[in-house]
């Protein structure tokens, strides 16, 4: 095998391993499975880890994060409504 081909194979495998591990840890709750599948199977392992269902803990964490975002959005909407009400009251008092 030529050194260029070996270098390409190493970079390709390393990249597939990193991508699979990140998908497994961030979205699925299975970082070790993503790492192993990416290392052993390359890009096929990335597809497999992307197709696996997330763990129960990952689903609970995702639901908690969505609730937190919704609370923050509701607080921002309420703050914007309050500032609009105050601005209208101030303009009514000025006239």
pLDDT at res. 17: 92
CB 53 within 8 A of CB 33: no
Please report, to the nearest 10 degrees, the dihedral formed by the alpha carbons of residues 58, 61, 66, 68 taken in order.
-170
pLDDT at res. 69: 95
How does residue 14 score in pLDDT terms, banded at 50, 70 and 90? very high
pLDDT at 93 over 80: no
How does residue 37 score in pLDDT terms, banded at 50, 70 and 90? very high
- Cα–Cα distances in angstroms (integers) from residue 80 to residues 42, 73, 76, 85, 92, in the given order: 49, 10, 6, 9, 18
Report residue 40 as tokens: 């052993």
pTM comes to 0.65
Domain parsing of the chain, residue ranges: 1-54, 55-95
CB neighbour list of residue 13: distance below 8 Å, 6 or more residues apart? 39, 42
How does residue 40 score in pLDDT terms, banded at 50, 70 and 90? very high
């Amino acid at each position: 095998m030529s050194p260029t081909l070996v270098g390409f194979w190493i970079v390709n495998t390393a990249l597939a391993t990193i991508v699979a591990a990140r998908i497994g840890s961030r979205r699925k709750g299975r970082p070790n499975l993503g790492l192993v599948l990416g290392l052993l199977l390359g890009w096929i392992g990335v597809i497999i880890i992307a197709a696996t269902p997330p763990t129960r803990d990952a689903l609970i964490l995702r639901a908690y994060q969505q609730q937190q975002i919704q609370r923050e959005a509701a607080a921002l909407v309420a703050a914007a409504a309050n500032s609009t009400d105050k601005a209208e009251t101030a303009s009514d008092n000025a006239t």
